[in-house]
Amino acid sequence: MNNQDLREYAKISGVKLWEVAERLNMQDTNLSKMLRHQLSNDKENELMTIIDQIAKEKEGGESA
């Protein structure tokens, strides 16, 4: 499966792919289609940054 490392990173970070899609202002189905093909390193890094941001926001929200 393409982008398996990205999918696993989201999973262990506690971030759902639909949350990433929402942050990108796209439908979750469109993100899923995009992930069917290997992403460029730049795009993969962008998505990992978004995953980090969402995970950090969740941490802050849970402890408040």
Over residues 11-16, mean pLDDT:
97
* pLDDT tens digits, one per residue of 20-42: 999 999 999 999 999 999 999 99
The dihedral formed by the CA atoms of 59, 28, 38 and 45, expressed in degrees to the nearest 10:
-30
Residue 64 — pLDDT band, cuts 50, 70, 90? very low
Tokens of 36: 């069917």
What pTM does this model have? Answer: 0.88
* CA dist 4 → 1, 25, 40 (Å): 6, 22, 14
CA dist 58 and 23 (Å) reads 14
Task: Please say if the pLDDT value at position 12 is more than 80.
Answer: yes
A 10 A CB-CB count for 42 gives 8
